[in-house]
Chains A and B, each alone.
Chain A
Amino acid sequence: EVQLVESGGVVVQPGGSLRLSCAASGFTFDDYTMHWVRQAPGKGLEWVSSLSWDGGSTYYADSVKGRFTISRDNSKNSLYLQMNSLRTEDTALYYCAKDGYTYGWGHFDYWGQGTLVTVSS
Chain B
Amino acid sequence: DIQMTQSPSSLSASVGDRVTITCRASQGISNYLAWYQQKPGKVPKLLIYAASALQSGVPSRFSGSGSGTDFTLTISSLQPEDVATYYCQKYNSAPYTFGQGTKLEIK
Contact = CB atoms under 8 A, between A and B. Distances in A.
Contacts of B101: 44-45
A46 B43 CA distance: 14
A45 B87 contact: yes
B46 interface: yes
Interface stretch (B10-18, B19-27, B69-77, B90-98): B90-98
Interface residues of A, number: 22
A105 to B, nearest CB: 7
Task: Using C-beta atoms within 8 Å of the partner chain, give the interface range for chain B.
Answer: 20 to 34
A4 to B, nearest CB: 10
A70 to B, nearest CB: 12
Nearest to A99: B91
A47 B96 contact: yes
A111 B91 contact: no
Given A105-B91, A106-B91, A110-B46, 7 more contacts: A45-B38, A45-B44, A47-B95, A107-B50, A108-B34, A108-B36, A112-B43
13 contacts: A44-B98, A47-B95, A47-B96, A47-B97, A59-B94, A59-B96, A62-B1, A95-B44, A109-B46, A110-B46, A111-B44, A111-B45, A113-B43
Interface of B: 1, 32, 34, 36, 38, 43-46, 49-50, 55, 85, 87, 89, 91, 93-101
